[in-house]
Amino acid sequence: MKYLDIEKLRDLKLEDFMATKPYPYFNTEGVLTESGFQDLLANMPPLDMFEQKFGYERRAGQAPHDRYSLEYTPDMVVSQPWQEFIDELCSDAYRKEIERLLSAKKVEFRFHWHYTPSGADVSPHCDARREHGSHLFYFNSNYDWDPAWGGSTLVLDDGGRLSYDSAPSMDEFDNVIECDSLGNYSSLMLRTDHAWHAVHPIDCPEDRLRRSVIEAIMCHGGVRFDQFEANYAIDFHEHFALELGNLQQLETDGLIEMGNDEFTVTPEGRLLLRAIAMVFDEYLQEPQVAPKFSRVI
């Protein structure tokens, strides 16, 4: 499997990249091959590998970047597609293009995955001065995400006014450019003291999440919890604790087979697919059984 379409970077002229305003960035489709993108999307790392990064203090009083974070180390066990992709990112071909575009020598790569839950955002900031830049790969598919729910990288134009050591609000910027991040897109960004960027708050409707679970049951005859944890940054066992409890009777009746991190519908259960799926319909939950509370993270 080939993951990188390196020609996308080779075709980018340095003078064009450097002339991009408000600072050099390259937001484009197809730096990953389509088959590579789909393979990586289907094998995202499970949420239980991630560290919760909530409430951490940032430079100059900037608001914390609340999210789940996973930093790759050489001894980490990841799925084969992700290991092969990381190997490609460490190749001489990719390194050469990154060094060319960022005007850097002997760059060292650090690899992170970030999952951001509903209600969280990334406040305006510039990357640390020790860095040359960032290359962001997005894994929000057209099937399970709507840009209206947030999550896109925002390129911010400060007009060269703001101090690197400051904590500006969004309304202090002259212009806000929203990067394309739905589907097979990526953003390469050169770090400068004015390369401000941010992410709007995530606001994924609860009914959309539940509809995706119902669709998985109806169309695929089961649910893999890790896929929803990766796509929606939730702990599936915690978020759907009531529903998983209600599935126990269906398991006893032989309609589903329950594993630690998935369940599948049995041949007998396929005759009652809709009834099984409706366990996840929030509008059918009895209020006296499952009173709803506001939850703040």
Residues 51 and 148 in one domain: yes
Number of domains the chain contains: 2
Decide if 69 is inside a domain.
Answer: yes
Point out the domain boundary residue: 166, 199, 232: 199
Decide if 260 is inside a domain.
Answer: yes
Give the pLDDT confidence score for residue 287 in this predicted structure. 45
Q: What is the pLDDT of residues 181-218, one digit of tens each?
A: 999 999 999 999 999 999 988 888 898 899 999 999 99
Q: Where are any strands of DSSP class E within 159-250?
A: 175-178, 185-190, 196-199, 222-224
How far is residue 84's CA from residue 2's CA, in Å, rounded to a whole number?
A: 9
Give the pLDDT confidence score for residue 283 in this predicted structure. 62
Residues 110 and 215 in one domain: no
Task: Please say whether the beta carbons of 4 and 32 come within 8 A.
Answer: yes
Residues 153 and 93 in one domain: yes
Decide if 129 is inside a domain.
Answer: yes
| The residue to which tokens 């400060």 are assigned | 158
Residues 121 and 195 in one domain: yes
| Residue 278, domain extent | 206-284
Residues 35 and 103 in one domain: yes
Give the pLDDT confidence score for residue 285 in this predicted structure. 55
How far is residue 54's CA from residue 233's CA, in Å, rounded to a whole number?
A: 13
Residues 11 and 72 in one domain: yes
Decide if 1 is inside a domain.
Answer: no
Residues 15 and 126 in one domain: yes
Report the CATH number at residue 276: 1.10.10.920
Residues 226 and 189 in one domain: no
Pair type for strands 256-258 and 25-29:
unpaired
Residues of the chain with pLDDT under 70: 283-297
Point out the domain boundary residue: 142, 164, 199: 199
Closest to 277 in 3D by CA, of 237, 239, 233, 243: 243
Decide if 290 is inside a domain.
Answer: no
Decide if 238 is inside a domain.
Answer: yes
- Phi and psi (nearest 5°) for 190? -85, 130
Q: What predicted TM-score, i.e. pTM, was given to this entire model?
A: 0.82
Give the pLDDT confidence score for residue 291 in this predicted structure. 36
Residues 238 and 179 in one domain: no
Closest to 178 in 3D by CA, of 146, 208, 200: 200
Decide if 158 is inside a domain.
Answer: yes
Point out the domain boundary residue: 199, 234, 269: 199
Decide if 2 is inside a domain.
Answer: no
Percentage of the residues of the chain whose pLDDT score is greater than 90: 77
Residues 117 and 240 in one domain: no
Q: How many other C-beta atoms can be found within 10 angstroms of the C-beta atom of residue 252?
A: 9
Give the pLDDT confidence score for residue 284 in this predicted structure. 53
2: left (phi over 0), alpha (psi -120 to 50) or beta: beta
Sign of CA dihedral 3, 6, 8, 14: positive
